[in-house]
Amino acid sequence: MSVKAFADQRFVVTGGAGFLGRRVAAALSVRGASQVIIPRRAQYDLREREAVLRLLDDARPEVIIHMAAVVGGIGANREHPAEFFYDNLMMGAQLLHEAWRAGVDKFVTIGTVCAYPKFTPVPFHEDDLWIGYPEETNAPYGLAKKMLLVQGQAYRQQYGFKSIYLLPTNLYGPGDNFDPASSHVIPALIRKFVEARDQGAAAVTAWGTGSATREFLYVDDCAEAITLAAERFEEPDPVNIGSGFEISIRDLTHLIAEMTGFTGEIVWDSSKPDGQPRRALDTTRAAERFGFRARTDFRDGLRQTIDWYLANRA
């Protein structure tokens, strides 16, 4: 699909009102797309087949970018594993199947780094997706999203359906979810340290030991990668979307404390899980297949995220 063709394509972006989805919709518009439909759950509950059929009939898309998901941090995944599995599987599997039946030209599935096995050689390479079971705390979510890779490849093999699958690493940036009950590590730590600073707290408790590592990708960079893949990538192989930058949770925690102005003690609660021991992606395939390389420096991205939270927390 050429850039010129974007203007002639009808896009459906599920999850398009969310943290990443808003950026993807904007990136499509910058490339000339004038028909970007963003379904809302209140009108189209994608867990229900009737709603999926109604969406396809109403929107008549040629390209679907599916990123609607039920997501959360370690705590939320431990408390609601059934919902994380069922909701994510049903939304994706029904939408992909009915998109094929409706003659949609291209289906872009946004997967998750949680699909990787718990003990994957670092950096994670796409060929290692099937060498073991995911980390237990988020396995139901990771496996539900992973099944959409299997489905997309099966439909391509049997029907020639153009389905691609992208594996973004952990995202962060302005507009993230800062709700302590469901947020991921960066927004959770930002809120915790800002509130502790404002209250004059002597200490902040952090989960785990801090030994686990993570790779983080600025949300606008991820949107750029998804748009490039929708435009240029036509192959069945899954593709990692990452920054190539790995940091331990301990170092991340101290960095956010410093950047938010918290000067108290950090106490580690080792009774809480660390999650997957290491997480960093081999991003060679994205660079080679559709020319994506992350551009945002991690500290710069953190500063923008913190500044956004400070300006919008009320």
Contact 55, 1 (CB under 8 A): no
Residues contacting 33, CB < 8 A, separation 6+: 6, 7, 9, 11
Measure the CA angle with vertex 73, ends 153 and 197; round to 5°: 145
What whole-number distance in Å separates Cα of residue 27 and Cα of residue 230? 11
What whole-number distance in Å separates Cα of residue 246 and Cα of residue 279? 7
Strand extents, DSSP E, the chain: 10-14, 35-37, 63-66, 106-110, 163-168, 170-172, 203-207, 213-218, 239-241, 246-248, 265-269
Number of neighbours of residue 109 by Cβ within 10 angstroms: 22
Q: Which of 44, 141, 155, 172 is catalytic?
A: 141
45, 48, 54, 57 alpha-carbon torsion, rounded to 10°: 110
The DSSP line for 135-177 is PGGGHHHHHHHHHHHHHHHHHHHHH---EEEEEE-EEE-TT--
Q: Is 44 a catalytic residue?
A: no
What whole-number distance in Å separates Cα of residue 233 and Cα of residue 290? 6
Pairing of strands 213-218, 246-248: antiparallel
Q: Tell me, what amino acid is at 301?
A: G
| Residues taking part in catalysis | 141
